Amino acid sequence: MKSNTTNANRDFQDFSTCDYTKHWSWSILFKNVFICQNLLDRKEIVEFGAANSLVKEMLNKNFNHDPDYYRYDLEPYPGCNQLDLTDGLSHMLKKDAVVFSEVIEHLPPTEVLFVLREFHNVLSRDGILILTTPTPSEDEMVWPDCHDQEYTRRQIHEFLVESGFEVITEMPWHFRMGEFPSDRGLPPGLERALGSLSVDLDHSTQLALVARKI
């Protein structure tokens, strides 16, 4: 899984210090709230590609939820165990939730199905996968300077179905184009982030979803 894994979100992960004049700070906050809300009934959670994610801390401090939470990343980030997903997960005990946020776009197509099937195997019955990723149009990537490839919403759904998952909920959380005018007097960054939450799923440039193991 060694590819271009630059974490473009690192400046926006610490919500106590990030710049809230920027819509990206609000958008990542909303994305992480979505993740946390869908983990509140889960007791054994594993996050792959955790890097500097603050999902575990948000669950503890903001949602009063303290599950068994395991963090893995390809690189030696603080608080993470090192793991290359392409080595497989046969050694791992069953978990009832997998978090895979902003990682699948760093996997080449030849590895995507392998990794998703490994997640399926490590999840307990009725376990869930929470996945977030850029979703480009058919002919234009969202972040071409950071990624070697990205997958459309249609492709993500196809990968999940082929790996034994059923998508049960989705949320758009970023939209690059257009204006979101409002008379609410909100800061422009917040207004843009709120507007992105209501964009049509097929036109969102960032998608968060929950898929159930079937």
Global confidence as pTM = 0.90
Q: For domain 18-213, give the fold.
A: Rossmann fold (3.40.50)
Task: Classify residue 184 by its DSSP letter.
Answer: S
Q: Give residue for tokens 């376990």.
A: 127
Domain ranges of the chain: 18-213
pLDDT digits (tens, 9 = 90+) for 150-173: 999 999 999 999 999 999 999 999
Segments of the chain scoring below 50 in pLDDT: 1-8
pLDDT at residue 8, as a whole number: 46
Q: How far apart are CA 196 and CA 180, in angstroms?
A: 9
